[in-house]
Amino acid sequence: MNLSSDQQVLWQHGFFKLNGTIATTWAMAAVMALGAKLVTRRLKTEGAISRWQGSLEIVVTAIKKQISDVGLSQPEEYLAFLGTLFLFVATASLCTVIPGFQPPTGSLSTTAALALCVLIAVPIFGIREQGVAGYLKTYTKPTFVMLPFNIISEFSRTLALAIRLFGNMMSGVMIVGILLTITPYLFPILMTALGLLTGMVQAYIFSILAAVYIAAATLVRKPKPGAPAQPAPTH
């Protein structure tokens, strides 16, 4: 039994290979991009809008509001990165209802890739907002003694992001697979539904945590007048 779709190698040429994870990711990305293209091709700004446009507007505005609620004052700048994180993980979870589909987020490589993206994006956004020196100084807060712990925290939380998402998604697929061999028919359906819910929650958690990390990196240097500086959350 394969724990990860990474081991389903479809094509390989030396170092390069096409496994199940990459293939499903391409398929999902193609569906998402084509669907978005199809819906946004005929956007209306007057009169009655289509149901698809309404749905996508709800999704986009909800993500934007969540980002704004976290504390990022310019949610449009982070919408593409954080929104895609959420939509990718959520779509992967949603696709688990397709029989035989193995979500790419069930692969530790994918979750590690996403966590690494967050790990890289946080300093990028922080430096863009505060400059290199300003961002690097956040590691010495509240005292210089905290510098190693802050660095450790940076990597550990990235690891936690990757492991958490991988564990939840992989476990859901594994449980369904195991249950199918023990108790077929009704029970696996319930577990799939539960896995769907868990996947959605994980998508939300993953993107919200990424937003919190970015917010911590961009807002810590800009305390409100009279208010204490917001400490960078650690994980």
Partner 1 sequence: MLIDWFTVGAQMLNFLILVWLLKHFLYKPILNAIDSRERRIAAELADADAKRAEAQKERDEFQRKNKEFDEQRAALLGKATEEAKAERERLIEDARKQADALRLSQDNALQNDRKRLGGELTRLAADEVFSIVRKALADLANVSLEERLGEVFTRRLREMDGNAKETLAAALRASAEPALVRSTFELPPGQRAAIQNALNETFSSEVRIRFEASPDAVCGIELTANGQKLAWSIADYLRKLEQDVGALLEAQPAPAAKAAPKPDDGTTLPPIAVVHPVAA
Which stretches of the chain bind partner 1, using CB under 8 A?
Answer: 3-4, 6, 15-17, 19, 21-22, 25-26, 29, 32-33, 36-37, 40, 43-46, 53, 56-57, 60-61, 64, 76, 79-81, 83-84, 87-88, 104, 107-110, 112-114, 116-117, 166
In whole angstroms, the minimum distance from the beta carbon of 126 to partner 1 comes to 18
In whole angstroms, the minimum distance from the beta carbon of 112 to partner 1 comes to 5
Q: Structure tokens of 229? A: 């500086």
**Residue with smaller CB distance to partner 1, 37 or 224:** 37
Helix (H) or strand (E) holding 9: strand 9-13
In whole angstroms, the minimum distance from the beta carbon of 18 to partner 1 comes to 9
Angle at CA 216, nearest 5°, toward 214 and 219? 100
**Residue with smaller CB distance to partner 1, 112 or 232:** 112
Distance CA 196, CA 106 (A): 13
**Residue with smaller CB distance to partner 1, 192 or 202:** 202
In one letter, which amino acid is 32?
Answer: M
DSSP string, 58-79: HHHHHHHHHHHHHT-S-HHHHH
Sorted by sequence, the CB contacts under 8 Å of residue 107 that are 6+ apart come out as 4, 5, 6, 21, 166, 170
In whole angstroms, the minimum distance from the beta carbon of 10 to partner 1 comes to 12
* CA distances in angstroms from 84 to 28, 40, 43, listed in the order given: 12, 16, 20
Q: Structure tokens of 11? A: 């094509």
**Residue with smaller CB distance to partner 1, 6 or 129:** 6
Question: In this structure, how many other beta carbons lie within 10 angstroms of the beta carbon of residue 226?
Answer: 5
Distance CA 89, CA 165 (A): 9
Helix, strand, or coil here: 230? coil
**Residue with smaller CB distance to partner 1, 81 or 135:** 81
In whole angstroms, the minimum distance from the beta carbon of 29 to partner 1 comes to 5
**Residue with smaller CB distance to partner 1, 33 or 147:** 33
**Residue with smaller CB distance to partner 1, 80 or 133:** 80
In whole angstroms, the minimum distance from the beta carbon of 129 to partner 1 comes to 19
In whole angstroms, the minimum distance from the beta carbon of 140 to partner 1 comes to 29
